[in-house]
């Protein structure tokens, strides 16, 4: 089968698009970076791709809140084609600011509808400051196309608004439907508190998937640990040829085998 095509959607303030493109191409996909304005001129172009990736950064300066303006632009300019895309056997991933976009769209925890309203929010970290550190994660869901249940990952975070909050009823649904994709844990796999949980996210949630398992949003940056030289201890330890983040992109590519 030919390599799956990935659309890395960028706009003003996005700054991880090159890294996301590299990560998918290193995993065997064909990736294109495309500005939101260019896609909005021809929305059906989205359907030429098998994967939609919304990378990290500070879209529109996060002037209102993280990812909200980007999500509003997508809703008003791309809602119909996005609904068609997500109804079909395709994948979508939102990383950091992209995760904020997907929650503001109502695509996570989903399912996405053109009139969807957010049921979870990503708000200011408990520390009330930008957190830039490496964290341990454990995969909780058994049905996400990007993840293997029980897998452990070590990835960097870099955000000021990563605390996931929701009503207790919604948290119960997330647990019952296995929509919690990733949780912050200690190096021993135990429940994490600050700083291992860098933002105070409820239930230690670091990422969500939707009921289909084909949409993933996460605050940590897998695209920033593809090569061993991106690890903070690369000069002091022998490391595998690929970093932990590479596993997410490789599994997404394998989905289309």
pLDDT tens sequence across 86-123: 999 999 999 999 999 999 999 999 999 988 889 999 99
Question: Does the pLDDT of residue 139 top 80, yes or no?
Answer: yes
223 is catalytic: yes
Tell me the whole-structure pTM to 2 decimals.
0.96
Question: Does the pLDDT of residue 2 top 90, yes or no?
Answer: no
Q: Which residues lie below 8 Å from residue 236, measured CB to CB, with a gap of 6+?
A: none
221 is catalytic: yes
Copy the structure tokens of residue 215.
């949409």
Q: What percentage of the chain carries pLDDT values higher than 70?
A: 100
Segment (H or E) for 20:
helix 17-26
Average pLDDT, rounded, for the chain: 96
Whose structure tokens read 């994967």? Answer: 51
Please identify which of the residues 136, 159, 221, 231 carries the catalytic annotation: 221
Please report the domains of the chain, with CATH numbers, ordered by start residue.
Answer: 5-254 (3.40.50.880)
Residues 117-134 as b/e (b if ≥16 CB within 10 A, e otherwise) read: ebbbbbbbbeeeeebeeb
Per-residue confidence at 1, pLDDT binned at 50, 70, 90? Answer: low
Write the pLDDT tens digit of every residue in 175-231. 999 999 999 999 999 999 999 999 999 999 999 999 999 999 999 999 999 999 999
Cβ atoms of 137 and 166 closer than 8 Å:
no
Cα–Cα dist 138/162, whole Å = 17
Cα–Cα dist 17/231, whole Å = 20
Please identify which of the residues 19, 73, 183, 223 carries the catalytic annotation: 223
Query: What single DSSP character describes residue 219?
Result: S
Helices (H) and strands (E) in the chain, counts: 6, 11
Whose structure tokens read 């294109």? Answer: 32
Copy the structure tokens of residue 145.
């196309």
Please identify which of the residues 96, 136, 159, 196 carries the catalytic annotation: 96
96 is catalytic: yes
């Amino acid at each position: 089968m030919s390599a799956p095509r990935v659309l890395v959607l960028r706009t003003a303030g996005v700054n991880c698009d090159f890294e996301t493109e590299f990560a998918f191409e290193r995993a065997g996909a064909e990736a294109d970076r495309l500005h939101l304005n260019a896609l909005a001129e021809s929305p059906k172009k989205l359907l030429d791709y098998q994967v939609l990736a919304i990378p990290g950064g500070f879209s529109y300066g996060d002037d209102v809140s993280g990812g909200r303006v980007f999500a509003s632009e997508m809703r008003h300019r791309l809602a119909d084609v996005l609904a068609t895309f997500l109804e079909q056997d395709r994948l979508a991933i939102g990383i950091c600011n992209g995760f904020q976009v997907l929650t503001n769209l109502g695509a996570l925890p989903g399912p996405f509808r053109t009139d969807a309203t957010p049921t979870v929010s990503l708000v200011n970290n408990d520390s009330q400051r930008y957190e830039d550190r490496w964290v341990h994660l454990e995969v909780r869901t058994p049905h996400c196309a990007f993840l293997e249940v029980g897998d452990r990952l070590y990835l960097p975070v870099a955000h000021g608004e990563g605390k996931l909050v929701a009503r207790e009823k919604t948290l119960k649904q997330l647990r019952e439907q296995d929509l919690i994709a990733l949780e912050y844990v200690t190096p021993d796999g135990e429940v994490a508190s600050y700083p291992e949980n860098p933002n105070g996210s409820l239930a230690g949630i670091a990422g969500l998937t939707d009921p289909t398992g084909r949409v993933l949003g996460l605050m940590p940056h897998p695209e920033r640990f593809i090569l061993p030289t991106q690890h903070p201890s690369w000069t002091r330890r022998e490391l595998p040829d690929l970093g932990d983040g590479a596993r997410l992109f490789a599994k997404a590519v394998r989905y289309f085998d």
